[in-house]
Structure 1
């Protein structure tokens, strides 16, 4: 079975959960096979190391968990707020964190997201949100987009 199969843009919630679970296992299998030098190597100017990419995924998990909760609580449409991803990675100083701690944190955050999604009422999937470009999207779309984004960066880490 190929490692990347996600059927975007219209996967059902169960497919999103299954793919998120699969990506957690996939990176878990690969992450600890990399030497520290491989994890901190900067592939070029303005590019992130593997640790920094995982740090970005940690930041993404925290922001998206908040979005998934807020979308269920706030009156529609939920207006998504951007965050300075470069600054978050820089301030997170992920290059200087132990590799095992980064993987454990990212995995734990995503298990909490899976826990939230498992209890998400189906009616909430249609909750309207305004994307960062002010386009109308649904909570369902946000969830699928999060999983696609995560899959992209897991692939980037593995194939760096």
Structure 2
């Protein structure tokens, strides 16, 4: 599979992030909503969780790999972390994901991973990788929207 698209997303976003001011990164519309900084932090958490899925599912099918996104964002304290640190973490995690997924054989892309917290739902590794990119694009649009 060719995941040049993920590499292109990373390179394009790094440039776009420069247009967001520090105050825009920090702004929270309410205590219940994430700031742009926390959204990018969430994407780092997603990358961390998915790297594990992408590697483990190659040798152990049906492993249950989940995370509590709100807990992770709070525990990682992204709101009080310098934005450049979060941007660099996001960038390098995603470049590592490109490295991992480009080396998965087609046969292993059909292995199954359980990603659910309650009722069991399983997905192929191929689906999880594609869904990861869709999920990232969804949140990147929110970062560039002034009404989050």
Residue 69 of structure 2 corresponds to 85
After TM superposition, give the deviation of residue 147 of structure 1 in Å.
0.6
Quick one: distance in 2 between partners of 1:79 and 1:22? 30
From 77, 99, 122, the equivalent of 1:136 is 122
Alignment of 1:64 with 2:55, yes or no, is no
Task: Report the TM-score, using the length of structure 2 for normalisation.
Answer: 0.90
Note the 1:9-24 alignment, pairs <5 A: 13-14=1-2, 17-24=3-10
Quote the Cα distance in structure 2 between the aligned partners of 1:80 and 1:128: 10
Q: What is the rounded CA distance, in whole Å, between the counterparts of 2:8 and 2:64 in structure 1?
A: 27
TM superposition shift of 1:107: 0.4
Find 2:11's aligned residue among 18, 25, 41.
25
Q: Residue 144 of structure 2: SS of its match in structure 1?
A: helix
Cα deviation, residue 87, structure 1: 1.1
SS of equivalent residue, structure 1 residue 129: strand
1:123 aligns with 2:110: no
**Partner residue of 1:46 out of 4, 15, 32:** 32
Is there any run of 5+ residues in structure 1 with no aligned partner, and where? 1-12
Q: What is the count of residue pairs matched by the alignment?
A: 144
TM-score scaled to structure 1, two decimals?
0.84
What SS class does the counterpart of residue 79 from structure 1 fall into? coil
* Runs ≥4 residues deviating over 4 A: none
Deviation at 1:111, TM superposition (A): 0.5
| Aligned residues: CA RMSD | 1.4
